[in-house]
Amino acid sequence: MAEKTQRIGIFDSGLGGTTVLKEMIKSLPNEDYIYYGDNGNFPYGSGKTKNELQKLTERILDFFVKNNCKLVIVACNTASTAAIDYLREKFSLPIIGIVEAGVKIASKNTKNKNIAVISTKFTAESHGYKNKAKMLDSELNVKEIACIEFAQMIESGWDTFDNRKELLNKYLSEIPKNTDTLVLGCTHYPLIRKDIEKNIKIKVVDPAVEIVERATQTLSSLNLLNDKKEKGKIIFFVTGETYHFKPTAEKFLEKEIEIYRIPK
């Protein structure tokens, strides 16, 4: 039996999922969290097969189960695309996926049903968004755009790349004219949201906002919301370097973090 005092596990291939964690802390500050950044195996979005991604994410779920989690958030679009069904078959705890949340938030925001999604190569080529849209809102017309270099550039320091504007223009120019909503279909992209918004006039949506709603509903329906009064504790585990991860996450979350490196 799960208990209210157990933790929420959130994972991504690196820094990206901190954009989801930040929204979660805002809405559910009294929960305890484990953030797992699999940066030792980064990137997930290019050069890995579906099977490899399933095995990597299965290990992360095992880690969460061993570390007393009551709910898991797959805060990585690539991992959600490759493994959400696989993980739900293997594990009995509730698992919330970001692609479903992305489709939902797009469908709430679009007026003309024409949306575009920017994402990793894997998410776009596997039609992560198109496939979920078919199931959740079949009227949505989805244009998927792979921004191949973005996650890597953001993970290692977006501002240090001189060609970032050029690349942004290149990918954003692929958005069809009739599109009214753009989904940030990679959790790294909210970190460069301002730069994206400078370049386009359509509405930009971040699935993280919807994730929070789903997580809250799920926990509440299972009577698992933590009702303690004091702020929750967040512990970070990463499978790769911490020298860049730690300061970048701290800057983004505006707080000092407790972080441990574990084998990949």
Shortest CB 76 distance to ligand DGL, Å: 4
- Does 7 bind ligand DGL (CB under 6 A)? Our answer is no
- With CB atoms as reference, the residue minimizing the distance to ligand DGL is 45
- Find how far residue 228's CA is from the centre of its chain: 27
Among 57, 110, 123, 248, binds ligand DGL (CB under 6 A): 123
Shortest CB 1 distance to ligand DGL, Å: 32
241 touches 248 (CB < 8 A): no
- Find how far residue 104's CA is from the centre of its chain: 14
Alpha-carbon distance 89 to 92, whole Å? 8
Alpha-carbon distance 93 to 36, whole Å? 17
Structure token pair of residue 251? 């800057």
Structure token pair of residue 244? 């860049």
Catalytic residues: 76, 186
Shortest CB 99 distance to ligand DGL, Å: 9
Among 95, 105, 142, 186, binds ligand DGL (CB under 6 A): 186
13 touches 79 (CB < 8 A): yes
Count of residues that interact with ligand DGL, criterion CB under 6 A = 16
**Phi and psi at residue 232, to the nearest 5°:** -75, 170
Among 6, 77, 110, 248, binds ligand DGL (CB under 6 A): 77
- Does 43 bind ligand DGL (CB under 6 A)? Our answer is yes
- Does 11 bind ligand DGL (CB under 6 A)? Our answer is no
Order of strands across the sheet that contains 95-97: 95-97, 69-74, 7-12, 33-37, 234-238, 258-261
Shortest CB 4 distance to ligand DGL, Å: 29
Indicate the residue type of 167. L
Among 24, 151, 153, 182, binds ligand DGL (CB under 6 A): 151
- Does 19 bind ligand DGL (CB under 6 A)? Our answer is no
Q: Which of residues 221-250 bind ligand DGL (CB under 6 A)?
A: none
Structure token pair of residue 32? 């305890």
Can you give the binding site for ligand DGL, defined by CB under 6 A? 12-13, 16, 42-45, 76-78, 120, 123, 151, 186-188
